[in-house]
């Protein structure tokens, strides 16, 4: 990705566009639509495989693969000898943000807005619940971040890990999972914007971020949830503001069209 990153992304998009929708894709959408429309509700029985074969005009292989896909998505359940059913827990769809959904700066900003809320309370919980091992791990990541010779990728990695350690220190598995989820989606755009805006990697920037991190850590060490909340919110607000400023800058310099 580092070499010819833009070209690789471009080629990949092209490849996706050239892929013709398969029969399994179409069968999936047909079944999915019948569920989303309410015609088939959680627990209700769907047509049999044989009936789908007739209705869709495809082989049983295609129907079975479509069912496998929908079962994996939690929408459908196949019961041997009985038939196909809309899953009782079809409503429990996962929360997903695909890479394609985070393609604009406005998407990144939305994501940062969400992350601000999560990080704020998470830090407060970490202040209440952290262990000494948690604190040591946080310190270690900040030490790595403070090294003068660190490269951008290692810097991003240590930053992400610092936040992941805080999440784990909250002793709430959902925070830990959600922060990891958000982190995965924010790393590529962040690295991209940091590369584009060289000023972001200057010494002044690093010093500001370092202070913010230290303030969070300090509050967590002192077991002060309110201070941790304020420090974390401040840190995330700064990040959000920078992206909003970037958005404003870009929209005021956009080509006329």
Partner DNA sequence: AGTTATAAGTTATATGACAACTTAAATAAT
Partner DNA sequence: ATTATTTAAGTTGTCATATAACTTATAACT
Q: Rule CB under 8 A: which residues touch a second copy?
A: 12, 24, 61, 64-66, 68-74, 88-89, 91-99, 110-111, 113-114, 116-118, 120-122, 125, 172-175, 177-178, 181, 184-185
- Cβ-based nearer residue to a second copy, 20 or 253: 20
When the beta carbons of 164 and 172 are compared against a second copy, the nearer one is 172
Residues forming the site for DNA (CB under 7 A): 20, 22-24, 48-50, 58-62, 64-65, 67, 78-84
Q: Write phi, then psi, for 57 (nearest 5 degrees).
A: 70, 35
Task: Report the partner that residue 120 touches, choosing among DNA, a second copy, none (CB closer than 5 to 8 A by kind).
Answer: a second copy
Separation between Cα atoms, residue 10 and residue 163, nearest integer Å: 31
Q: What angle do CA 223, 227, 228 make, to 5 degrees?
A: 70
145 contact choice in a second copy, DNA, none (CB below 5 to 8 Å, kind-dependent): none
The three-point CA angle 121-125-130 to 5° equals: 145
Q: Which does 150 bind (CB under 5 to 8 A by kind): a second copy, DNA, none?
A: none
Whole-number minimum distance, CB 78 to DNA, in Å? 4
DSSP states along 201-247: GSHHHHHHHHHHHHHHHHHHHTT-HHHHHHHHHHHHHHHHHHHHHHH
Give whichever of 20 and 204 is closer to a second copy, judged by the CB atom: 20
**How many other CB atoms sit within 10 Å of the CB of residue 129?**
16
Contact partner at residue 91 from DNA, a second copy, none, CB < 5 to 8 Å by partner kind = a second copy
């Amino acid at each position: 990705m580092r070499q010819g990153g833009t070209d690789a992304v471009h080629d990949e998009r092209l490849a996706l566009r050239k892929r013709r929708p398969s029969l399994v894709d179409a069968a999936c959408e047909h079944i999915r639509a019948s569920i989303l429309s309410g015609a088939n509700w959680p627990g209700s029985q769907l047509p049999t495989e044989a009936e789908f074969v007739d209705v869709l005009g495809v082989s049983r292989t295609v129907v079975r693969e479509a069912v496998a896909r929908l079962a994996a998505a939690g929408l459908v359940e196949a019961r041997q000898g009985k038939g196909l059913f809309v899953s009782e827990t079809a409503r429990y769809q996962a929360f997903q943000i695909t890479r394609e959904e985070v393609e604009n700066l406005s998407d990144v900003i939305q994501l940062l807005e969400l992350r601000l809320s999560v990080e704020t309370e998470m830090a407060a919980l970490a202040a209440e619940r952290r262990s000494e091992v948690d604190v040591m791990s946080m310190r270690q990541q900040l030490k790595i971040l403070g090294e003068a010779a660190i490269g951008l990728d290692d810097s991003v990695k240590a930053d992400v890990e610092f936040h992941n350690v805080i999440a784990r220190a909250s002793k709430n598995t959902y925070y830990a999972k959600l922060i990891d989820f958000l982190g995965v989606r924010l790393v590529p755009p962040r690295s991209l914007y940091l590369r584009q805006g060289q000023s972001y990697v200057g010494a002044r920037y690093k010093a500001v971020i370092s202070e913010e991190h230290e303030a969070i850590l300090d509050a967590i060490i002192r077991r002060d949830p309110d201070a941790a909340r304020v420090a974390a919110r401040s840190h995330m607000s700064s990040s959000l503001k920078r992206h909003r400023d970037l958005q404003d800058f870009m929209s005021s310099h956009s080509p006329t069209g």
